[in-house]
Amino acid sequence: MINVFCSLKLAKLLDIQKTVNVNVNFESDWNAHLFSVAGKKWIIFVNKKTLFSFIIMDVLKKDLNNLSILFTEMLIKQLEREFILTSKYENYLREYDQIANICTTDNDRKIMGSLNDFVYHTKACYEDDKNVEKARNYALRYINEMPSKVLKFKTPREAMKEHIKNYG
């Protein structure tokens, strides 16, 4: 089962009550956070094991009704953009999309630190010259290219590629 642990801000928007008794799986768990760029709502998702990230931009309230399906579809699109999706891993993701568990925060400081860093860099791209397209481009192309000390200076893209390779 895939668990998505939401920040307090996102959990409040989704109206999620405190989650208890969650089967935690470091391999497939994600953290999510709501932030804004140019007055629009964006949601970032970060994988706990690999720090692989993707952002859903310009989120509307109606989009949140099917967040687990939206999560799966956008993750698959990002993996395709990064040229690391395999058919076996796509089938795994689609098999579990109906039971993706959207939870309240797990207060994982390591992941939240990386997540906040990704948000900072994305917002900085916009703030430089108030160019939303520049921030979108960064989010789609470069967010997974920053080496991380947590990953022994591998990039999230490299870590996810290895994770998918080892998956099947």
User: Which architecture, in CATH terms, is 3-167?
Assistant: 2-Layer Sandwich (3.30)
- Name 17's Cβ contacts closer than 8 Å, sequence gap at least 6: 104
The CA–CA distances, whole Å, from 73 to 13, 48, 152 equal 21, 19, 29
Q: What are phi and psi of 126, to 5 degrees?
A: -75, -45
Pairing outcome for strands 101-103 and 53-56: unpaired
> What pLDDT digit, counting tens, does each position of 1-49 carry?
788 999 999 999 998 877 666 666 767 899 999 999 999 999 999 999 9
The answer to whether the beta carbons of residues 14 and 6 sit under 8 Å apart is yes
pLDDT digits (tens, 9 = 90+) for 83-134: 999 999 998 888 865 456 788 888 888 899 999 999 999 999 898 888 899 9
Q: Map out the domains of the chain as residue ranges.
A: 3-167
